[in-house]
Amino acid sequence: MTRPTGQMLIAGADVFGTGEKIRAVDPSTGAELEPAFGHGGADEVDRACTAARAAFADYRALPDAKRAEFLERIADRIESLGDALIERAHRETGLPVARLTGERARTTGQLRLFAEVVRAGSWSRARIDPAQPDRKPLPRSDIRRRQIPLGPVAVFGASNFPLAFSVAGGDTAAALAAGCPVVVKAHDAHPGTSELVARAVTGAVADLGLPPGTFSLLFGSGPELGIRLVTDPRIQAVGFTGSRSGGLAIAAAAQARPQPIPVYAEMSSTNPVFLLPGALAERAAEIADGFVTSLALGAGQFCTNPGLVIAVDGPDLRTFLESAVAAVADNRPSTMLTPAIARAYADGVARLSAHAAVEVLARGAESDLPNTCRAALLATDADSFASDTELQQEVFGACSLVVRCRDADQVRAVAEGLEGQLTATVHAAEADHAEAAELLPVLELTAGRILFNGWPTGVEVGHAMVHGGPFPATSDSRTTSVGTLAIERFLRPVAYQDVPASLLPGAIADGSCPGAVPIPDPARRNA
């Protein structure tokens, strides 16, 4: 089936929601798309969570190789959807076909990379402290440790990545890799794309004969269905990518449960870019080109969009700004994801532009098309920036604020005053390294990823990636939502003391533990 039907997929069954009916909107025309999707309610949340809990024991007990095969099968089935998926996603999001094709490759690559991680077995972080029966004054027991999955996970699809951060995106891949059943709440902005991908996942569940409750897809509003899902006692962790208000509401609901659970919410980031003097002197115009390309990419609808530029004022910064202003003014407007996002962008730019301490340097071209993003380049001074937190708020879209500083000390002071960020970027020439060395420790405390002489948009899916950062960039800075370490979000450690060999899980059994690290005896005393 390569056309959406409007139905949720709950533990393998098609369910048409009896709540509010919604339709996707083609943001490039404002036209509503067929079919209608019915929102689910309490019954559907209960059904999905009951099935997920029932599936958990068998799903987590699967051999690593089978779980890996399942992830690969999901990837295969997403690819089998072919152009129908890309076309539907294009109509629902306004994102270009080339971008969506790349995003699909990232999504399937991500699933296959997690399959490799699962197959390698090291995800269980096995450790063995062997018994020491003759230790004095007390013998030591045999103690082994592995990680096990937390339980059913709720994943909230994001508006801006209809594939890579949505139904079978990073959180779903990481949770399924960890051994956790997943219940996805689809984003209302791309329900058809969500249904198609959910059919691919459900198909893979069936292909491998897994328990149907391993995966469900629900439609519904965040405040109603979403909070109900987060507070369902079967759900044991939550992955969310979206607004700060949405993330905070989910975190508060999770914390207020009789049993609080971890929430991994990626919320807001302005991704500061520091332009150091040597770099500006060497290549101001070139940096400006790269900056505007990154700023305007995908109408600026990236979590890592460069929304802040910080530099010492002077002739080289003015050269940078001249080029940037020209590039922004030339920027062709592009369609935003939804009418609401386009409105919020326009309101955010208007609010900043009206600020007494803000100067509008450039706007992108106007457009008669609906829901477009006119890029915006604004400027302020560091004193004003420091004195009004409103200037630090993210405006989601292709808007960036240049903060002019008196000197290097003020650049560092601005860095020290920033809220938590997903990324911090430094443009530095050889001559700037002393200054960069002073800035680096400040940025480490502020951001999850630090880049030199590049642009923060484009998040590599690898083993070393950190897509996360201190609050409010995320609700939990100790993890990443992109890359293989994301599997650890959905795991917890268990120790096994003197468990008979025949009962030990494979990951920590004698001689059969690919990931086990037998650590030399530290001969510690047990008091």
Residues 480-509 that bind a copy of itself (CB under 8 A): 480, 485, 491-500, 502-503
Range in contact with a copy of itself (rule: CB under 8 A) among 4-12, 28-36, 110-118, 370-378: 110-118
The pattern of x and - marking residues 28 through 67 that bind a copy of itself according to CB under 8 A reads -----------------------------x---x------
- Residue 34: CB partners within 8 Å, gap ≥ 6? 23
Residue 401 beta carbon to a copy of itself: minimum distance, rounded to whole angstroms: 22
User: Residue 242 and residue 263: Cα distance in Å, rounded?
Assistant: 13
- Residue 61: CB partners within 8 Å, gap ≥ 6? none
User: Residue 307 and residue 422: Cα distance in Å, rounded?
Assistant: 12
For 196, 275, 347, the CA distances from 314, given in Å and listed in that order, are 53, 12, 31
Residue 351 engages a copy of itself in binding (rule: CB under 8 A): no
Query: Are 239 and 488 contacting, i.e. CB atoms less than 8 angstroms apart?
Result: no
User: Out of 52, 59, 91, 110, which residue is the one contacting a copy of itself (CB under 8 A)?
Assistant: 110
What the block records as the tokens of 523 is: 């001969």
User: Out of 453, 510, 512, 514, which residue is the one contacting a copy of itself (CB under 8 A)?
Assistant: 453
User: Out of 202, 334, 380, 475, which residue is the one contacting a copy of itself (CB under 8 A)?
Assistant: 475
Query: Residues 28, 31, 35, 40: what is their CA dihedral angle, to the nearest 10 degrees?
Result: 80
Query: Are 136 and 527 contacting, i.e. CB atoms less than 8 angstroms apart?
Result: no
What the block records as the tokens of 465 is: 């990636």
Residue 356 or 526: which CB sits closer to a copy of itself? 526
Query: Are 401 and 391 contacting, i.e. CB atoms less than 8 angstroms apart?
Result: yes
For 59, 231, 236, the CA distances from 254, given in Å and listed in that order, are 24, 6, 9
Phi, psi for 206 (deg, rounded to 5): -70, -45
Which is catalytic among the residues 49, 303, 373, 399? Answer: 303
DSSP per residue, 26-95? ETTTTEE-SS-EEPP-HHHHHHHHHHHHHHHHHHHTS-HHHHHHHHHHHHHHHHHTTHHHHHHHHHHH--
Range in contact with a copy of itself (rule: CB under 8 A) among 87-95, 96-104, 220-228, 272-280: 96-104
H/E run at residue 144: strand 143-149
Residue 346 or 428: which CB sits closer to a copy of itself? 428
Residue 99 engages a copy of itself in binding (rule: CB under 8 A): yes
Residue 337 engages a copy of itself in binding (rule: CB under 8 A): no
Range in contact with a copy of itself (rule: CB under 8 A) among 152-160, 351-359, 368-376, 457-465: 457-465
Residue 75 engages a copy of itself in binding (rule: CB under 8 A): no
User: Out of 96, 315, 458, 514, which residue is the one contacting a copy of itself (CB under 8 A)?
Assistant: 458
Residue 87 engages a copy of itself in binding (rule: CB under 8 A): no
Which is catalytic among the residues 195, 266, 394, 435? Answer: 266
Task: Work out whether strand 359-363 and strand 517-518 pair parallel, antiparallel, or are unpaired.
Answer: unpaired
Range in contact with a copy of itself (rule: CB under 8 A) among 5-13, 83-91, 109-117, 205-213: 109-117
Residue 346 engages a copy of itself in binding (rule: CB under 8 A): no
Residue 290 beta carbon to a copy of itself: minimum distance, rounded to whole angstroms: 13
Residue 209 or 441: which CB sits closer to a copy of itself? 441
Residue 116 beta carbon to a copy of itself: minimum distance, rounded to whole angstroms: 6
User: Out of 54, 181, 468, 481, which residue is the one contacting a copy of itself (CB under 8 A)?
Assistant: 468
Residue 470 engages a copy of itself in binding (rule: CB under 8 A): yes
- Residue 373: CB partners within 8 Å, gap ≥ 6? 299, 300, 301, 333, 334, 335, 336, 342, 345, 364, 397, 398
- Beta strands (DSSP E) in 321-464 are 334-335, 359-363, 372-373, 376-381, 399-405, 421-427, 447-452
Chain positions 174 to 193 lying near a copy of itself, rule: CB under 8 A, are none
Residue 476 engages a copy of itself in binding (rule: CB under 8 A): yes
Residue 92 beta carbon to a copy of itself: minimum distance, rounded to whole angstroms: 18
Residue 461 engages a copy of itself in binding (rule: CB under 8 A): yes
Range in contact with a copy of itself (rule: CB under 8 A) among 78-86, 217-225, 403-411, 455-463: 455-463
Residue 381 engages a copy of itself in binding (rule: CB under 8 A): no
Query: Are 346 and 6 contacting, i.e. CB atoms less than 8 angstroms apart?
Result: no
Residue 116 engages a copy of itself in binding (rule: CB under 8 A): yes
User: Residue 172 and residue 156: Cα distance in Å, rounded?
Assistant: 9
Residue 449 engages a copy of itself in binding (rule: CB under 8 A): yes
- Residue 200: CB partners within 8 Å, gap ≥ 6? 74, 77, 78, 80, 81, 168
Query: Is 266 considered catalytic here?
Result: yes
Chain positions 423 to 442 lying near a copy of itself, rule: CB under 8 A, are 428, 433, 436-437, 440-441
User: Residue 510 and residue 527: Cα distance in Å, rounded?
Assistant: 28
Query: Is 373 considered catalytic here?
Result: no
Range in contact with a copy of itself (rule: CB under 8 A) among 28-36, 87-95, 135-143, 379-387: 135-143
User: Residue 282 and residue 273: Cα distance in Å, rounded?
Assistant: 17
Range in contact with a copy of itself (rule: CB under 8 A) among 6-14, 101-109, 172-180, 206-214: 101-109
Active site residues: 266, 303
